[in-house]
Chain A
Amino acid sequence: DTEVTQTPKHLVMGMTNKKSLKCEQHMGHRAMYWYKQKAKKPPELMFVYSYEKLSINESVPSRFSPECPNSSLLNLHLHALQPEDSALYLCASSRQLAGGSDTQYFGPGTRLTVL
């Protein structure tokens, strides 16, 4: 199984809503990532988890709150988002954060629209 799954596929929310994005992998990977991707742009790194601990936060606003409940799951909690936060949110995983040569496997993404 080399699949990263993400739910929901699409999400529309208002600026006062609270919602969560979910990501799951069963490849035994110990590094998991959240990326944000705007149309026609490359993915931008948001957060990195290694062995369920937050390793990198790329100065992401606090209205985005990541959580890694266990080695297979990664959540992104959303609260008080702005319309400019509308984007494709990608989850990825890799074996570990070491050596710089572990391929990242991406999920299909959640298309988020903030009204």
Chain B
Amino acid sequence: GESVGLHLPTLSVQEGDNSIINCAYSNSASDYFIWYKQESGKGPQFIIDIRSNMDKRQGQRVTVLLNKTVKHLSLQIAATQPGDSAVYFCAGLSGGSYIPTFGRGTSLIVHP
């Protein structure tokens, strides 16, 4: 079955630095991936998604990279701000499945 996990449980960065959060998946049939941000006391919030026919997608200050060869995706946050402090989850879906499988989560801590 699908297994989605994150490499590091906690990432600490200085304000203004770029952040990179990684995620590995095991199901080669996974064809759609989502990154969620969850702030303390709130529900997960959609950040950006990417389909398996793409290897890069950019949003506002965020970029998701997908490497299907090694089954790895990453979320890059440019010029990290204190408001970016949160837990970030990757989630994957495979064809025919409509329920995302969540990874363990990475806690991003931004120091001013």
Contact = CB atoms under 8 A, between A and B. Distances in A.
Nearest to B102: A42
A90 B44 contact: yes
Nearest to A48: B99
Interface stretch (A60-68, A70-78, A106-114): A106-114
B105 to A, nearest CB: 6
Interface in A19-78: 31, 40-43, 45, 48, 56
Contacts of B15: none
Contacts of A102: 98
Sorted from nearest, which 7 A-B pairs have the closest CB atoms? A106-B43, A42-B102, A100-B93, A100-B98, A97-B98, A106-B44, A101-B32
Contacts of B102: 42-43
Contact of A43 (B44, B49, B93): B44
Interface of B: 31-32, 34, 36, 41-46, 49, 51, 87, 89, 93-100, 102-105, 107
B22 to A, nearest CB: 16
The secondary-structure label for the interface of chain A is loop
Given A98-B98, A100-B98, A107 B51 contact: no
30 contacts: A4-B43, A40-B87, A40-B107, A41-B105, A42-B102, A42-B104, A42-B105, A90-B43, A90-B44, A92-B43, A94-B98, A97-B98, A99-B98, A100-B31, A100-B32, A100-B98, A101-B32, A101-B51, A101-B93, A103-B46, A103-B49, A104-B100, A105-B46, A106-B36, A107-B43, A108-B41, A108-B42, A108-B43, A109-B41, A111-B41
